[in-house]
Structure 1
Amino acid sequence: MKQTAHGYRLQEKNKNTVTPNTTTLLQNHADEDTQALPVISLVATRSGITEGKNSYTTSQMNTATRLNLSMKETPQSTTVITKQRIDDQNMTSINDMVQSAPGLIVDSSNGPSRTVFRARGFDIDNIMYDGLPSQYDPIAVGVSTNMAMLDRVEVVRGATGLITGTGNPSAAINVVRKRPTAEPKVSLTGSVGRWNNYRGEIDASSKLNSSGSVRGRVVGSYQDQDTFREGEEAEHGLLYGALEIDLSPQATLLTGISYQKDYNNSFWGGIPLGADGQHIKVPRSTNPANDWEDKTTRLTTLFTDLEYRFDNDWKLRAAVMKSWNDGIFSGTYLNYTPARGFAYSAYQGKYDINNTGVDVFLNGPYQLFGRSHEAGFGLSQRSTRSKLHNYSGGGFYGDHLDPLNLDKIAKPDFQYSGSRTTEIAQHGFNAMTRLNLADSLKLILGGRIDWYEYKDFAGSSGYKVSDELTSYAGIIYDLNPNHAVYASYTTIFQPQNNKDINRKIIKPITGNNYELGIKGEYFDGALNASAALFRINQENRAKTLADQSACPEDLNNSCAEASGLVRSDGFDLELQGALSSAWQLGAGYSYVKARYKKDKDPAKVGQIFESNAPKKVFKLTSSYILPTENNNWRVGGTLYWQDTIFNNVTNMGAATDYRVEQKAYALLDLMVAYQWNQNLDLQLNINNVFDKEYYRGIASDMGWFPMGSYGDPRNAVFTVRYKF
């Protein structure tokens, strides 16, 4: 593979001189008057790091099983969003990544700054940081991970209970932080875009002693922007520092801290339905928020990671992460009732969420029956303590408001109305092995035992689940050096907080995840392809009772019951990596059909489980190095398409219901970049080129929310990157 100004050219290698699991990179020769780098030869060992690789794929990932496997060796649907792809698409937050990743869905119906992520029909409720799970609650706090500190994002679709323990069978999103480098380097990035969108970033890394055994890295980022909604403003700030120390030839310690602050002056920001149960035809620039509204969130994270490599190729990793997440929200939403028409409701809340994660994992090879196999053993502990302080806004403001010409209201005198503290603690032990049954046949077996406890201090209630077993099995058969077929199975476990009419907690959600697929690996791993069929069964989901007459008063008409079976069937197709020496591609098509198979309400059987999530989604991102003299020009584009989403809305108790929908739509983004010299790169991204008007989330209720949330109109961002 030969390096060009922006990437690597594929080339034939002498396989007798290259060891397995390595990739040889030879830099492109250039004429004396070109600006190419000096001729060098590198041998890169198989590593998941994507920074500086100029690729849309990677050689290995371990999010699915904790074992270091290539995508072809992993018996689940996997995607890696690399640093090159992050830069090409100008991703600044985790929302941008989810919008681009195959099989993942962004829903903004709870507010533009409180996005919900979905996959395979279910909400994503965990975000992993370097492999340590952390609760993701976009409704409560919703800090959107800043991409400036990340090397890549690894995504595993389907159930991942072997690694995360509890969770929905949707997907695992593992954000992998940048690590310090011994090679001194500094990069400066600045961008400017429509709606006064200004962003700056600095990234500096170097060895801190003469031997290079101590290395440090600092990343800072700040963004100040308006939005297409009139009067809406946002700020995003990040400080990240990491220190890596070689304690000995066998031991490496990584420790660091990150601080992120997000601000937005629109809490909900959505557009309600009209009196006819349909979208109100207001301009996209309409902003129902008031001038005093404030959504400020902060996330501080400390982390430490110790790795020890034994002489027999076994490795021990011990990692600890502690985060403090707090937010204060003051805002309004438009509420519709037949008596008042449109009126404002106001709310203020203060959240404090502390997360702690500890993980110890030991893995390595062993010999059995004349073959080498691999095993892993892990202990983990995670806890989340959440405290919510509620402040009442004092009722409704401004009856019969005109959504087309809103009269804004003054900030109410919010009064403290109580607090609630909850705590979740989970302890787990997992074990797994990868059996080398034959040269072409591998079997992965694993299991996890969890102890789970939930406490609600406000209601002096809680519950425990002990010795919950999550099982995993995956088999991979190599058809030839480039293709493998696989099958995998895992069970599902997700505790619930809902209570029945006797104040008893509804039993945990259980179920299973099946997947069959085929994977391809080409050009020595520079291109990966996959196709997968899946089925997910989820039983015992809590359902709010339609008749709340027997519900105790202290449960606020929210009594629930276990309700049948939800089944999600579908398939994924994906291609990621290099199609040629100059052409990088990331493409995926997903089809999901999630329906009620059993339910206490017979009318629900056969109905769509999440109608406001598309069944079909196609995503394609590509970049191409133009064949100019110095290969300095690069062009690219992103195509996004999804089919119709809808909600059936009850007309405030009337006999007629309404169907609210967003019809199928496609979006096109374009990119052009020019590498001025070795140090300076210029890039222009044009988003929503055809200025398509669409909703990123639609309303499901006339009197409450979710609400309709428009997607961004056409806009452009110009970025300058300087490295030295």
Structure 2
Amino acid sequence: MAAQRALSPSTLSVFRTGPGNFSRAAAATRFPLNHMAQAALCVALGSSVWSISVPAHAQTATEAARKNYQIPAGTLDQALSNFGRQAGVALAVSAELTAGLRSPGVSGNYAVPEALRALLAGTGLETVQEGGEYSFRKTASAAAQQHSALPAVSVTARAERSATTEGSGSYTGNVVTVGKGLLTLKEIPQSVTVVTRQRMDDQNLTSIDDVLANTTGITMYDSPMGGRYVFSRGFRVDTYQFDGVVRSFYYPQANNFTSDTDTLDRVEIVRGATGLLQGPGSPSAAINLVRKRPLAERQVQVAASVGSWNNRRVMVDATGPLNEDSSLRGRVVASYGDRDYFYDTAKRETGVLYGVLEYDFSPQTRLTAGLSIDNLRATPAFQGLPAYSNGTDLKLSRSTFLGADWNRWNGRQTAAFAELQHKFDADWSIKLTANATRETNDIKYAFALGTINPATLNGTNMYGALFDLKTENKSLDLSADGKFDLLGRRHGVSVGASVNEMTSDSTFYLSMLGVTNNVFNPTSPAEPSDAKIIGSAYRSDNSIVNMKQYGLYGVTRLSLADPLTLVLGSRMSWYDMSARDRVSGAPTQDPAKESAVLSPYGGLIYALSPQWSAYVSYSDIFQPTNAVTADGSHLAPVTGKNYEAGLKGELFDGRVNASVALFRIDQNNMSEEDLVNTCRTSTYCYVARGKVRSQGIDAELSGEVARGLQVFAGYTFNNLQYLDNTTDTQINFSSSYTPHHILRLWSDYRLPGELQAWSIGGGFNFQTASARKTGNITLEQPAYAVWSARVGYQVNRNWSLTLNVANLFDKTYYQTIGAPAWGNFYGDPRNATLALRGKF
């Protein structure tokens, strides 16, 4: 050992855990030798050797102790960094020895030597124990291979993959759970985006709306009566999953779903029809919200931020083992937010509490159970702004608020879930998941409606609205996933069954308040009593809606040849929806029922090289709808076909994912909001637009494209055509919810050398024009780009500061284009957020 030279600073990175735990961003920070000595770290090996040094008297205990490790596949540097943190040991890393190597990761209970062997599987490295010290070196076969002309021997090591993005420091994920089981992005013959925990933190994406608004091909549409609708490839998204299990949503007046991202590890989005993964669904996209899970090591994270318009947030996230052998682990996340808006009067207060437990009955069987509570208290600004009667923009101040100071929106979402998973062996597993959700919304507000006469500047009348919404949702999903050998090749299969039942008990009343409002100098109308709004309502609904969905599904992945995989599957679906008056019990809508509807799907994946694959896919579309016409009848289910062909690449040892796809969607019975006829039984009514076609291109690049440089870039070209005319010639309107071109870009760079404590980031969201036609009047928002920037500073191993500035150049634009009488919403002006984060 005395003859070995010390590693130079250029080849050494230090990772440390316990009280000195710090983020990957600070991992390259140099520490004086006395700090290393305190951790009993010995660096005495050449540039081709790793060394782990711990006190000899502690080594035996470290070896014997078995801990639960959850380390995802990735670069060997990242895997060993995570291992050092979870095992509580200090590591000295030789960059020359590990350069270009990847680890399969490890999951389960292991002693230190066993965990290290699993992490090194397939890397050509091995451990050598000498007394109280581990050394790392190349295996004899790997060393001989460097000096031998013999043909290379390929060794494949199989280890459990992990989709977890927390702690990876990456803008990409190679494995997702939006389908059944774990699949790499290249195993899914559709366009997939993963928004990681790191990107959510860097870009200050604190809500689901923020995440989706910065995702490839996704556009947001502000509902005039609360919440936002999500669109992809020209169609509305209403397929949401939580940890891979679908949850049904029903709102009689708007999309009132809101959620913070503090509880999430990542968000997975599959664009296009999702029958390939889960059978029926929207031809737009499926969104999978994946919750954080307990970690095997103790960790506490805190965050506090202040920003424009009195935007304040605090968050605490604590996790770790709850017993000696780490078989029981827990996690608690609590956050609170309070903010005003760039427009007058409105404000919002949110609170989130999330708790989850994991228990390993054995290395093969795990039970997970959790509970989350989301509270919302707000003074909202609904309905948006009007325009002149000829469609000309009023050019009102962005601070204009046309509601009332007594507006209220009180909401609560309570969700409980449990998941039991058993692994029979390395190939086969079964999982049972149960979810129960209860959501309440109490909403009362005033809104302005009416176009403005250019001559008199009058025309806006004030209305009052009262909503009481209660929804309960229960789901159960049982799935099995495995691999089998047939005809000398290895194949995969997933089968399952799902049940989802939803009950919505809702009332709403719309009433004219009998007063006007000057949009150029608005005032708050007097608050009417609830009884007055109910008694003078010109439109109301008081109904209980029941929705039941059942499904059987199966998919197999057949290896036809080394480079060629065939994906075949199908789903059998049952759907039943009814609505009745909550007092009389009489039906309020025509019932909708579908039985044993078969949705086949398939795809071919061809591996062009270890890095690139090409694919084609097809999926049937079947989507029951709760949309009703003006007379109260249900529209027919949406049907159609989804085609896609593309290329996917996993580059730079998996640090970067790239994809490009051509898509075409032919859809029948597409619904579009009826802006002409008067709704009799609902706030919104729809008409069928017959057959439509959406086609275009998706392209995306995400990950570490150069050392310290994380990038996310997504581009979409989309063209939506109406292939049939509407049957009612008086209904003549169209909306471009998805512009022809959308480009999203965000990047973050960790500065090198002496400036490595600093990071800088920035990007933009660009889209071409969007428009909405009502009768003979068209409102349009021209093309625009919104730029954002970020500066981060790692104060020390525990604390970091970041400053985010959104809409850097203060672009004035409409986030949503509505109608001349309502529904036009400005995008956020320039705003800044300063955040302090700690990790211990």
Letter matched to residue 447 of structure 1 = S
Measured after TM superposition, the shift of residue 297 of structure 1 is 1.2
Given that 2:234 and 2:737 are in contact with CA atoms closer than 8 Å, whether structure 1 keeps it comes out as no
Change in CA separation of 1:181 and 1:698 when aligned onto 2, cut-off 3 Å: same
TM-score normalised by the chain length of structure 2? 0.78
Structure 2 SS opposite 1:210: coil
Change in CA separation of 1:8 and 1:275 when aligned onto 2, cut-off 3 Å: same
Given that 2:734 and 2:772 are in contact with CA atoms closer than 8 Å, whether structure 1 keeps it comes out as no
Change in CA separation of 1:78 and 1:141 when aligned onto 2, cut-off 3 Å: closer
Structure 1 SS opposite 2:785: strand
Q: Give deviations 1:39-58, integer Å, cap 9, x for gaps.
A: 36976353110000000111
Q: Structure 1: how far apart are the matches of 2:266 and 2:397? A: 37
Given that 2:675 and 2:774 are in contact with CA atoms closer than 8 Å, whether structure 1 keeps it comes out as no
Structure 2 SS opposite 1:182: coil
* Equivalent residue, structure 2, for 1:671: 790
* Equivalent residue, structure 2, for 1:617: 742
Q: Structure 1: how far apart are the matches of 2:432 and 2:684? A: 42
1:391 matched to 2:509? The reply is yes
TM-score normalised by the chain length of structure 1? 0.90
Given that 2:388 and 2:452 are in contact with CA atoms closer than 8 Å, whether structure 1 keeps it comes out as no
Segment drifting more, 286-295 vs 68-77: 68-77
* Equivalent residue, structure 2, for 1:76: 190
Given that 1:8 and 1:25 are in contact with CA atoms closer than 8 Å, whether structure 2 keeps it comes out as no
Given that 2:734 and 2:774 are in contact with CA atoms closer than 8 Å, whether structure 1 keeps it comes out as no
Measured after TM superposition, the shift of residue 71 of structure 1 is 1.2
Structure 2 SS opposite 1:300: strand
Q: Give deviations 1:465-524, integer Å, cap 9, x for gaps.
A: 101011110111011111111000001111234567997644311101000001111112
Q: Give deviations 1:434-484, integer Å, cap 9, x for gaps.
A: 111111111111100001101111252413210101111011101111111
Given that 1:141 and 1:351 are in contact with CA atoms closer than 8 Å, whether structure 2 keeps it comes out as no
Q: Structure 2: how far apart are the matches of 1:433 and 1:260? A: 38
Change in CA separation of 1:241 and 1:603 when aligned onto 2, cut-off 3 Å: same
Given that 2:619 and 2:643 are in contact with CA atoms closer than 8 Å, whether structure 1 keeps it comes out as yes
Measured after TM superposition, the shift of residue 143 of structure 1 is 3.1
* Equivalent residue, structure 2, for 1:573: 699
Given that 1:637 and 1:670 are in contact with CA atoms closer than 8 Å, whether structure 2 keeps it comes out as yes
- Of residues 422, 430, 447 in structure 1, which corresponds to 2:570? 447
* Equivalent residue, structure 2, for 1:720: 836
Change in CA separation of 1:121 and 1:542 when aligned onto 2, cut-off 3 Å: closer
Segment drifting more, 625-634 vs 435-444: 625-634
1:350 matched to 2:468? The reply is yes
Q: Structure 1: how far apart are the matches of 2:398 and 2:629? A: 42
Measured after TM superposition, the shift of residue 346 of structure 1 is 0.8
Given that 2:172 and 2:194 are in contact with CA atoms closer than 8 Å, whether structure 1 keeps it comes out as yes
* Equivalent residue, structure 2, for 1:680: 799
Given that 1:333 and 1:346 are in contact with CA atoms closer than 8 Å, whether structure 2 keeps it comes out as yes
Q: Structure 1: how far apart are the matches of 2:772 and 2:804? A: 33
Q: Structure 2: how far apart are the matches of 1:629 and 1:396? A: 65
* Equivalent residue, structure 2, for 1:237: 351
Measured after TM superposition, the shift of residue 126 of structure 1 is 2.1
1:104 matched to 2:218? The reply is yes
Given that 2:280 and 2:571 are in contact with CA atoms closer than 8 Å, whether structure 1 keeps it comes out as no
- Of residues 757, 769, 772 in structure 2, which corresponds to 1:647? 772
Segment drifting more, 135-144 vs 668-677: 135-144
- Of residues 623, 638, 644 in structure 1, which corresponds to 2:763? 638
* Equivalent residue, structure 1, for 2:319: 205
Structure 2 SS opposite 1:86: helix
Given that 2:26 and 2:757 are in contact with CA atoms closer than 8 Å, whether structure 1 keeps it comes out as no
1:424 matched to 2:538? The reply is no
Q: In angstroms, what is the RMSD of aligned CA positions?
A: 3.0
Letter matched to residue 467 of structure 2 = G
Q: Structure 1: how far apart are the matches of 2:452 and 2:353? A: 49
* Equivalent residue, structure 1, for 2:143: none
Identity across the alignment (%): 36
* Equivalent residue, structure 2, for 1:33: none
Letter matched to residue 527 of structure 1 = V
* Equivalent residue, structure 1, for 2:175: 60
- 5 Å matches for 1:166-185? 166-185=280-299
Given that 1:228 and 1:713 are in contact with CA atoms closer than 8 Å, whether structure 2 keeps it comes out as yes
Given that 1:594 and 1:609 are in contact with CA atoms closer than 8 Å, whether structure 2 keeps it comes out as no
Q: Structure 2: how far apart are the matches of 1:341 and 1:285? A: 20
Measured after TM superposition, the shift of residue 557 of structure 1 is 12
- 5 Å matches for 1:370-409? 370-393=488-511, 395-399=512-516, 401-409=517-525
* Equivalent residue, structure 2, for 1:585: 711
* Equivalent residue, structure 2, for 1:32: none
**Matched positions, count:** 694
* Equivalent residue, structure 2, for 1:161: 275
Measured after TM superposition, the shift of residue 362 of structure 1 is 0.2
Change in CA separation of 1:298 and 1:337 when aligned onto 2, cut-off 3 Å: same
Measured after TM superposition, the shift of residue 526 of structure 1 is 0.7
Segment drifting more, 272-281 vs 71-80: 272-281
Q: Structure 2: how far apart are the matches of 1:251 and 1:701? A: 59
- Of residues 162, 165, 174 in structure 2, which corresponds to 1:50? 165
* Equivalent residue, structure 2, for 1:698: 817
1:93 matched to 2:207? The reply is yes
| Higher helix proportion (structure 1 or 2) | 2
Structure 1 SS opposite 2:262: helix
Given that 2:234 and 2:718 are in contact with CA atoms closer than 8 Å, whether structure 1 keeps it comes out as yes
Change in CA separation of 1:434 and 1:285 when aligned onto 2, cut-off 3 Å: same
Given that 2:223 and 2:383 are in contact with CA atoms closer than 8 Å, whether structure 1 keeps it comes out as no
Q: Structure 2: how far apart are the matches of 1:554 and 1:648? A: 23
Measured after TM superposition, the shift of residue 273 of structure 1 is 1.7
Q: Structure 2: how far apart are the matches of 1:439 and 1:7? A: 42
Q: Structure 2: how far apart are the matches of 1:562 and 1:192? A: 46
Q: Structure 1: how far apart are the matches of 2:310 and 2:184? A: 42
Given that 2:234 and 2:736 are in contact with CA atoms closer than 8 Å, whether structure 1 keeps it comes out as no
* Equivalent residue, structure 1, for 2:622: 493
Q: Structure 2: how far apart are the matches of 1:695 and 1:502? A: 33
Letter matched to residue 817 of structure 2 = I
| Higher strand proportion (structure 1 or 2) | 1
Higher Cα radius of gyration: 2
1:133 matched to 2:133? The reply is no
Structure 2 SS opposite 1:25: helix
Letter matched to residue 460 of structure 2 = F
Structure 1 SS opposite 2:210: helix
- Of residues 521, 539, 548 in structure 1, which corresponds to 2:668? 539
Change in CA separation of 1:225 and 1:242 when aligned onto 2, cut-off 3 Å: same
Letter matched to residue 519 of structure 2 = P
1:411 matched to 2:518? The reply is no
Change in CA separation of 1:521 and 1:603 when aligned onto 2, cut-off 3 Å: farther
Change in CA separation of 1:338 and 1:628 when aligned onto 2, cut-off 3 Å: closer
Q: Structure 1: how far apart are the matches of 2:350 and 2:390? A: 38
1:287 matched to 2:401? The reply is yes
* Equivalent residue, structure 1, for 2:77: 25
Change in CA separation of 1:498 and 1:141 when aligned onto 2, cut-off 3 Å: closer
Given that 1:143 and 1:299 are in contact with CA atoms closer than 8 Å, whether structure 2 keeps it comes out as no
Structure 1 SS opposite 2:175: coil
Q: Give deviations 1:147-205, integer Å, cap 9, x for gaps.
A: 00000001100011354544321111101000001200101100000111110000000
Structure 2 SS opposite 1:385: strand
Q: Structure 2: how far apart are the matches of 1:718 and 1:502? A: 52
Unaligned segments of structure 2, at least 5 residues? 1-10, 16-22, 29-46, 50-71, 82-88, 107-160, 535-539
Segment drifting more, 561-570 vs 506-515: 561-570
Change in CA separation of 1:37 and 1:646 when aligned onto 2, cut-off 3 Å: farther
- Of residues 823, 826, 829 in structure 2, which corresponds to 1:710? 826
Letter matched to residue 265 of structure 2 = D
Q: Structure 2: how far apart are the matches of 1:164 and 1:414? A: 44
Q: Structure 2: how far apart are the matches of 1:338 and 1:186? A: 55
Measured after TM superposition, the shift of residue 136 of structure 1 is 4.2
Q: Structure 2: how far apart are the matches of 1:637 and 1:141? A: 31
